[in-house]
Structure 1
Amino acid sequence: MKAVLLAGGFGTRMKEETEFRPKPMVEIGGKPVLWHIMKLLSAQGIKDFVICTGYKSEYIKTYFANYGTANLDFTVRLGHPDSIVYHGSHDEFEWTVTVVDTGLETMTGGRIKRIQEYVGDERFLCTYGDGIANVDLNALVAHHESHGKNATLTTTQLHSRFGVVDVDSDGNVSQFREKPMVNDLVNIGYFIFEPQVFDYLEPNSVLEQEPLRNLANDGQISAFKHSGFWQPMDTQREYQQLNEIWNSGDAPWKIWK
């Protein structure tokens, strides 16, 4: 199964980091957040990736085109680039990576529509290139296969940003709860899509609007509940949090050796 990664947005809420590079290439522990997502997926058996780029697409293209020379010692006869020999290896050398410029202004649904030829008539995983979650892919796929619908999305519960005060009918404070879990579920990506999903997409549709709504109206989408770690990287604060977690040596998403 291939993984389609949405990596084309402008990342305007992280202007400090995204002025010169796309947000999926902002680093956690010296590696792009996109790399962390791919490592997590690879550790669970997905090694074929299609990356939907847009803003500063050339940055992502260059990163993967030069991955070997940037990460390994090598020998080359100058003037003969095909003669390059790498010394050593990385698990990432087992990956197949297709980088597609899906347009600067294209919306999420349109980006997926534009990579249809690279996915073909196959089931595929799709997620955002800036959110890390240690989703159990075996459980996710098993859930998807159990219901027979065209799509599955992964949901989780959030913690409140604020502490909560419980007050009884007489105005007495009964207890304080520090950032409790809220009841609502949020979509965190990590979709499993059947190829029929392409029929719901238009060249510039927003995945999270009409396509998902129409799938729901047709009874063709189910939710898989993830209760583990999830952290998007939408703000400078979240970028710092992810780096702090990584630097602690106990990152929940580091499931590879």
Structure 2
Amino acid sequence: MIKEYFSNYFLHTSDVTFDLQKNEMEVLRRNGEPWKITLIDTGENVMTGGRIKRVADYIKDETFCLTYGDGLSDLDITATIDFHKKQNSLVTLTAVQQPGRFGAFTLGSEDTRISSFREKPTGDGNSNAWINGGFFVVEPEALDYIVDDQTVWEREPLEQLANTDKLAAYKHTGFWQPMDTLRDKNVLEDYWNSGTAAWKSW
């Protein structure tokens, strides 16, 4: 479906005239982006690390960005890349705090009275709870940490990079929301429908 979309990109995004008698199409106004897009089928049974390894020939020796595609953010990608270049690391992951789902409170000394309460704070009240936000800046050398198709990117590669001081964290304190569940989907649709979608930058 994605390949078909880009194959017919001008049809989807431009104003066109169809001459049915001549079976011709004339593009009147092109609204296309100046992008070059490569789509690679990495297979259904390949793990996250294996998928990255399979596109190595297309990445070559360039620093590249990587995301899972199941989360939305107002992350400043340029700032993330600039941060990465100063770290002398092979990988920089974006550290985020989970959107709060529950009210967080602190119990007083008697354990029967609440001394503070915050409704749905970021990280559910734990200011030190940073997680992998799923956006990365990666050097090609990091692909050497991926063994084969069954390598999970978040396991051995990132663990080994962390153990050798080659994994940096860019702390993003802006908007971030995963879309892993129906609840997440509904939350994101509410943002979109209300006109408050922080990730919409166009």
Whether TM exceeds 0.5 here: the answer is: yes
Match of 1:107 among 47, 52, 55: 47
* Displacement of 1:242: 1.3
Partner of 2:81: 141
Match of 2:62 among 83, 101, 122: 122
**Alignment of 1:62 onto 2:7:** no
Root-mean-square deviation (CA, aligned residues, Å) is 2.0
Give TM-score, length-normalised by structure 1: 0.70
Give TM-score, length-normalised by structure 2: 0.88
8 Å Cα contact 2:98-2:177 kept in structure 1? no
The alpha-carbon distance between structure 1 residues 115 and 84, as it changes in their structure 2 partners (threshold 3 A), is: farther
* SS in structure 2 of the partner of residue 169 of structure 1: coil
**Alignment of 1:186 onto 2:122:** no
Partner of 1:208: 154
- Deviation per residue, 1:8-60 (Å, 9 max, x gap): xxxxxxxxxxxxxxxxxxxxxxxxxxxxxxxxxxxxxxxxxxxxxxxxxxx22
Once residues 99 and 148 of structure 1 are traced to their aligned partners in structure 2, the CA distance between those partners, rounded to angstroms, is 30
* Displacement of 1:159: 3.7
Match of 2:163 among 217, 237, 244: 217
| Structure 1, unpaired ranges of 5+ | 1-58
| Structure 2, unpaired ranges of 5+ | none
Partner of 1:86: 27
Decide which structure has greater strand share: 1
After TM superposition, which residue ranges in structure 1, 4 or more long, deviate above 6 angstroms?
A: none
Once residues 113 and 77 of structure 1 are traced to their aligned partners in structure 2, the CA distance between those partners, rounded to angstroms, is 46
**Alignment of 1:227 onto 2:170:** no
Structure number with greater Rg is 2
* Displacement of 1:77: 7.3
